Amino acid sequence: MSFWELYGNKLLVAVGVHFLYVFASVASGFVVALTLGILLSRVPGIAKVALPLISVFQTIPGVVFIGILFLYMGMVPATAIIALAIYAVFPILKNTYAGLLSVDSSLLEAARGCGMSKIQSLFEVELPLAMPSIIGGLRMSTVYTVSWAVLASMIGLGGLGEFIYIGIATNNNALIVAGAIPAGIMAISLSLAIDFVKRRITRQGREVSLK
């Protein structure tokens, strides 16, 4: 029996599960990060303390964190999604914050001078101008999360990691490759897709002035 006949279906399911983990965790991480980033950009004083603290948290190995969360929440998909989402937050948060702060102060003054309220200035001027930076963070998070999602199988939650772990445990190189290659393809194609979106919303003419 060929490899495909033996593992084909399982592999397709694993790719699907893996993708769902990535999608759910990056999406929820994005919402959290965007909100936090906007709030922190309003109070740079607090952000100067909060961002380094969050980045220290980021250095805790994913294996440790997913393990701890497993002890409290058990073997449910939410465990993996929450753990991955927390890791996805930081790159987006950092880029959102930096992108919002890099908006030229003369534009903020112009927005105020034109009678924009703070909310209007945020949504019509600051966020659109910070968007390239925010999406850059999103892409970074997505690529990381594709590789971190391999850890989900460590607590028996499937995904492409399952192939890799079983491959290592049984000394079966074909299984390792069968897990690694789709993960690589997924990371690259998601990254390209996000780049495409970025180009679409970063309209012509704007890039020049952002440098």
Partner 1 sequence: MIRFEQVTKKYGDSVILDNLSFEIKEGEFAVLIGPSGCGKTTTLKSINRLIEPDTGHIYVNGKDISQTDPVQLRRQTGYVIQQIGLFPNMTVAQNIGVVPKRLKYPKEKILDITRSLMDMVGMSYEEYGHKYPSELSGGQQQRIGVLRALAASPPLVLMDEPFGALDPMTRNSLQDEISRLHKKLNKTFVFVTHDMDEALKLADKIIFMENGKIVQMATPEEMLENPASDLIRTFMGKRAEGSPASALTAADFMRPDPVSVYKSRGIRECTEIMARRQIDSLLIKNDDDTYAGVVTVGGIKKASKSTGTIGEVPVSENAVSYVSESAMESFDKLLNTNSSYVVVLHEDDTIAGIVTKTSMAKAMADALWGDGQ
Interface ranges with partner 1 (CB under 8 A): 104, 106-107, 109-117, 120, 124-125, 128-129, 203-206, 208-210
Cβ nearer to partner 1, comparing 12 with 197: 197
CB of 206 to partner 1, least distance (A): 5
Cβ nearer to partner 1, comparing 154 with 210: 210
CB of 43 to partner 1, least distance (A): 21
CB of 130 to partner 1, least distance (A): 10
CB of 48 to partner 1, least distance (A): 23
Q: Which amino acid is at 8?
A: G
**Distances, alpha carbon 209 to alpha carbons 100, 109, 194, 206, in Å:** 15, 17, 22, 6
Q: Put residue 73 in one of left, alpha, beta given phi > 0 → left and psi -120 to 50 → alpha.
A: alpha
Cβ nearer to partner 1, comparing 31 with 110: 110
CB of 211 to partner 1, least distance (A): 10
Q: Which of 132, 145, 125 is nearest to 208 (CA)?
A: 132
| Long-range pairs, 178-186, Cβ under 8 A, ≥24 | 178/3, 178/7, 178/11, 179/14, 179/150, 182/11, 182/14, 182/15, 182/18, 183/18, 183/146, 183/147, 183/150, 186/15, 186/18, 186/19, 186/22, 186/146, 186/160
Contact 21, 159 (CB under 8 A): yes
- Report residue 25 as tokens: 């965790």
CB of 91 to partner 1, least distance (A): 23
